[in-house]
Amino acid sequence: MKKNVLLLTLVTLVILCGNSYGQKITIGAKGGFSLPNLTGGSADNPRSTGYSSRKGADGGIYGEYHVNKKFSVSLGMEYSSQGGIKNGFQAYPTPAQMAPMFAPGPAPVNLYATFNSEAKMNYLLVPLLARYTWKLSKKSPMRIYAAAGPFAGFLLNAKQITSGNSNISMMLPDKSFRILTPQPVSFDASTNIKPDLYSFNAGLSGFVGLSYNLTSKHAIFVEAGGNYGFMTIQRDKLNGDNKTGAAVVTIGYAYTLQSKYNQNGGRR
C-alpha cells in the first residue's frame, strides 16, 4: 500500500508538472523546523502521559493546480519529524532479566526510574490540500493564503534514545514506591522502536502563508501551521496510545510553469 500511494503521488506530480498546457501549474519546495509532540494517551497508562515537545526538521515538495485566481489544489510529499520528550521520574517496561526477582508471583508491567527519554519518529506525509489566496492589492507582489486537507503518513524510522543513571523502583498497591536496586543503573541506550509502531497514519494538515512574487513566475514564501494524526501509533496499548502532531514553520520557493491560456491558444 505504501509503495502504491507513493507511486501514485509521484505520477500525479509529474502529470501536474508536464501536462500544463491550458492550465496554471506551480511547483515548489520548502524546508524548516517543527515542534512535534505525542498527545492523547490514557491516564491509566503511565507510559502514555508526560510528553513535551522536541525539535525536528520538516520539508518537502509539492505541485499546485490553480482552479482560478483564488482557489487551487496541491499534492505533495513531506518529510515530517514526530515524537516527544519525557524527562524525569517515569514508567518503563519491566526488563525480562528482572522478571525472575518477582517469582513466584508475576512481574509488574512497569518499573520506575529517573532518566531522560526522547522518542524520535520520522514520517513521509502525502498531503492533499485545498488552498485559498488573497492578494493584498492589485499591484502588490505579496499574497496571503491558507491551506488545509488530509494527509496519509508512512513511518520511515523510529527510535527511543534514553540517558541517565537512576535507582529502579516499583509501585506498591498504596501508590508508594520501593527501591529495588541498591546502586544506580545506566539508562544510556538507543532502541529501534519501529516494530512497535504502526507503519501507516492519517490526519489533517494545514497552514497559513505569505508569499512574495519576485517575477510573474518566481516567488518566495513563508508558512506556519501544523499537522495532527488521527490514529493511535502504538501496536500494543501497554506501550501507550498516543497520537502524533507537530507545529511547523517553513520557508520556500515556488515556480509557476505556465500561465493560463485562452481558447485560441494565446496567453491571457
Mean model confidence pLDDT for the chain = 89
When pLDDT is averaged across residues 70-76 and rounded to a whole number, the result is 95
Tens-digit pLDDT profile for residues 175-194: 999 999 999 999 999 999 99
Give the whole-angstrom CA distance, residue 239 versus residue 45: 8
Q: How confident is the model at residue 14 (pLDDT cuts 50, 70, 90)?
A: low
When pLDDT is averaged across residues 120-129 and rounded to a whole number, the result is 97
Closest CA to 204 of 95, 127, 107: 127
> What's the pLDDT at 2?
54
Give the whole-angstrom CA distance, residue 64 versus residue 73: 6
C-alpha cell at 20: 500544463
Tens-digit pLDDT profile for residues 148-161: 999 999 999 999 99
Sign (positive/negative) of CA torsion 148, 194, 2, 60? positive
Phi, psi of 46 (to 5 degrees): -65, -15
> What's the pLDDT at 251?
98
Q: Which residue has the higher pLDDT, 21 or 244?
A: 244
Q: Which CATH class is domain 2-87+122-158+197-258?
A: mainly beta
CB 64 within 8 A of CB 13: no
When pLDDT is averaged across residues 85-100 and rounded to a whole number, the result is 94
> What's the pLDDT at 263?
39
pLDDT at 267 over 50: no
> What's the pLDDT at 261?
43
Question: Residues with Cβ < 8 Å from 139, sequence gap 6 or more?
Answer: none
> What's the pLDDT at 253?
98
When pLDDT is averaged across residues 103-109 and rounded to a whole number, the result is 92
> What's the pLDDT at 43?
78
CB 67 within 8 A of CB 73: yes
Enter the pTM of the model.
Answer: 0.86
Closest CA to 201 of 115, 121, 87: 121
> Domain residue spans in the chain?
2-87+122-158+197-258
pLDDT at 19 over 80: no
> What's the pLDDT at 20?
43
Q: How confident is the model at residue 40 (pLDDT cuts 50, 70, 90)?
A: confident
